[in-house]
Amino acid sequence: MTFEYAPAPESRSIVSIKPKYGHFINGSFVAGKKHFPTINPATEEILSHIALGGTSDVDKAVMAAQKAYTKTWSKLSGKERGKYLYRIARILQERAREFAVLETLDNGKPIRETRDIDIPLVAAHFFYHAGWADKLDYAGLGHNPKAYGVAGQIIPWNFPLLMLAWKVAPALATGNTVVLKPAETTSLTALLFAEVCQQAELPDGVVNIVTGDGSTGSAIVNHPGIHKIAFTGSTEVGKKIARAIASTDKKATLELGGKGANIVFDDAPVDETVEGIVNGIFFNQGHVCCAGSRLIVQESIAEEIIEKLKVRMAKIRVGDPLDKNTDLGAINSKEQLIKIKELSAIGDAEGAERWSPQCDLSNKGFWFAPTIFTGVTQAHRIAQEEIFGPVLSVLTFRTPQEAMDKANNTPFGLSAGIWSEKGSRIFWASQHLKAGVIWANTFNKFDPASPFGGYKESGWGREGGKHGLAAYLKNGKETGAK
C-alpha cells in the first residue's frame, strides 16, 4: 500500500509585493537608480525589481547610521534600546506567516522550514538580544563595554531573514547602528523587515538597508565611516574582506564556508542516525554553511546505513516550496545550480559513485535531486570543496582516530556531527574535532543562546549567545582585583 500526498499549498495572498523597491535609508524608502529583477527560483517568475545600490547610496546610508549613532542610539539607555528590540520581536511574531511565505517565494526553501524554523528563530533572536541590551556589564567584557559605532553587515541568500536577525539583533542590542546589504537574490524579506522597523518606531537611521550585488557589498566594506564588518558568505569573499580591511582599524566577524563531517560510529542508533544524516545535508537544499556534507561512517555499518539512507532519500518530497508537504525546495539560483552540477560532475569524473532517487523535477525553476556519492576518498574534490547543495559525500573509517583525522582534514572548521550511543565516545570525539559547532546525536540545530562560528578558514568570531556580543563591543574597563 502506498500513501500519496495531496497538494497542500500555502496561500500566497498574505503577501503583497511591490513591483519595485528602493533602499531603506534614514527611516524611509528612497528610490534607487538602477534595478534588477528578483525571481522565484521555483518558477522563474519575476517577483519584483530590486535597487542596485551604488557608492552614493551606501554613502547616504552610512551617514544616516552615523548620525543616528551619535544623535540618538548611543544616547539611549540599554533599557530603552532593549524595548525597541522586544517590539521588533513581537511584530515579527505577529507577521510571521507573511514573512514565511515571502521568504519561500523569494528563496525557494520549503514553507515548512520558513514557517517552523527560519521565522520563529528570527523572532527568538530579537527577543534574546533585547534582554542583553541593559545587561552588557555581565557579558564578560569588563565594565561598560562600548559599541563600535556603525556596523556594515553583508548577508547571504540561504537564510535571508535569519541571517539579518543574527546580524541586526546583536548589533542593535549592543548599541551599534547598522547598514545592511541583503543578498542579491533574496532582498524581499529584508525590505519587509524595514517596514517592521517603521512599525516599531525604531529611530530613523538605526537600521539602513541598501540592496545590490557584490559591488554594493564592497562599497560597504571599504567605506571609511564603517567601524565593524559582519559578513556571512563564502570563504573566498571572506578572505577578500580580510585583505580589504587589513590596513584599517575596522573589526570583522566572518562566518564562512564549511565541509562538515557527520561521523557515524558502529554503535549509533541506526534509524535516528539516518534521519540526522538527511537533516544534515538535505535541510534547506543543502544551502547551509554548516551542512553535514561529508558522511564519515564506520566501515562495519556503512553498508546498512547507506542502504537505509537510500530508502529514506526515496521518500524525500522534492517540489513546490509553498506546498506544506515539501521537504526539498528549489535551488536558490541558476548560478548555484550550475555550481552544484559542475562539482557533481567532477565527483563522477574522479570515480565516486553517484546515486539519486527517481524525482520528477519541474522544467521551470532550478532543481537538483538529493544525491549521494559513495566511494569518496579524501583527495576527491567533492570531499574537500563546499558544494552548497543537496549532495552528500560518503567516506568510511575503521578506527575512531581515523575518523577524527578525516574529519579534520579540511581547511574549514565550522561544524561536525557525532552519532553514537556511548557518552564517553561522544565527548572524546567532540574534544578531537576542530569545529566551532558540534552536534551529538542531532544536527543543524540553531538557537539564539548558542554561539555559532568556525575554526580555521570557516571564519572569525561567534554569533549568538554571550560570545556573540563580543563581536560588537569594545572591551570595557577590567573589573578584576589586581
Partner 1 sequence: MATKKESRVEVKKTYKLFINGAFPRSESGRVFEVTAKNGDFIANPALASRKDLRDAVTAARAAQSGWSKATAYNRGQILYRIAEMLEGRADQFESEIVFTSHVTPAKAKALVAEAIDRWVWYAGWSDKLQAVSGATNPVSGPFFNFSISEPQGVVAIASSDSFLEFIDAIAAAVVSGNTSVVLVPGGLAVPAMSFAEVLATSDLPAGVINILTGSLDELAPWAASHMDIDGFDISGIQKKKHGALKEAGAENLKRIHSFGSGKTPARILAFMESKTVWHSVGV
What residues act catalytically? 255, 289
The Cα 119–Cα 133 span in angstroms is: 22
Interface pick for partner 1 out of 324, 334, 381, 466 (rule CB under 8 A): 466
CB of 309 or CB of 437, closer to partner 1: 437
Number of residues forming the site for partner 1 (CB under 8 A)? 42
Query: In 53-113, where do the E strands start and end?
Result: none
C-alpha cell at 16: 503583497
Contact 272, 407 (CB under 8 A): no
CB of 19 or CB of 423, closer to partner 1: 423
Using CB under 8 A as the binding rule, whether residue 475 contacts partner 1 is answered as: yes
71 φ/ψ angles, rounded to the nearest 5 degrees: -85, -35
Residue type, 125: H
Using CB under 8 A as the binding rule, whether residue 459 contacts partner 1 is answered as: yes
Binders of partner 1 in range 293-312 (CB under 8 A): none
Alpha carbons within 13 A on the beta-carbon side of 220: 29
- Shortest approach of partner 1 to residue 24 CB, angstroms? 30
Q: Which stretch binds partner 1 (CB under 8 A): 56-64, 200-208, 224-232, 464-472?
A: 464-472
Count other Cβ atoms within 10 Å, centred on residue 109. 29
CB of 23 or CB of 129, closer to partner 1: 129
Q: Name 138's bridge partners.
A: none
The Cα 461–Cα 282 span in angstroms is: 26
Q: 3-state class of 234 per DSSP?
A: coil
C-alpha cell at 178: 547598522
- Shortest approach of partner 1 to residue 350 CB, angstroms? 24
Contact 355, 325 (CB under 8 A): no
Binders of partner 1 in range 206-235 (CB under 8 A): 235
Residue type, 109: K
Interface pick for partner 1 out of 32, 170, 212, 238 (rule CB under 8 A): 238
Using CB under 8 A as the binding rule, whether residue 148 contacts partner 1 is answered as: no
Interface pick for partner 1 out of 37, 131, 140, 351 (rule CB under 8 A): 140
Name which of 445, 453, 447, 446 is nearest 470 in CA terms: 453
Taking residues 414 to 453 in sequence order and writing x for each that binds partner 1 by CB under 8 A, - otherwise, the string is ------------x---x----xxxxxxxx--x-x-xxxxx
Using CB under 8 A as the binding rule, whether residue 30 contacts partner 1 is answered as: no
CB of 327 or CB of 457, closer to partner 1: 457
The Cα 41–Cα 360 span in angstroms is: 16
The Cα 460–Cα 253 span in angstroms is: 5
Using CB under 8 A as the binding rule, whether residue 117 contacts partner 1 is answered as: no
Contact 208, 107 (CB under 8 A): no
Binders of partner 1 in range 332-391 (CB under 8 A): none
Binders of partner 1 in range 245-284 (CB under 8 A): 246-248, 254, 256
Applying CB under 8 A, the residues found at the interface with partner 1 are: 124, 140, 235, 238-239, 242-243, 246-248, 254, 256, 411, 426, 430, 435-442, 445, 447, 449-453, 455-457, 459-460, 462, 465-467, 475, 478, 480
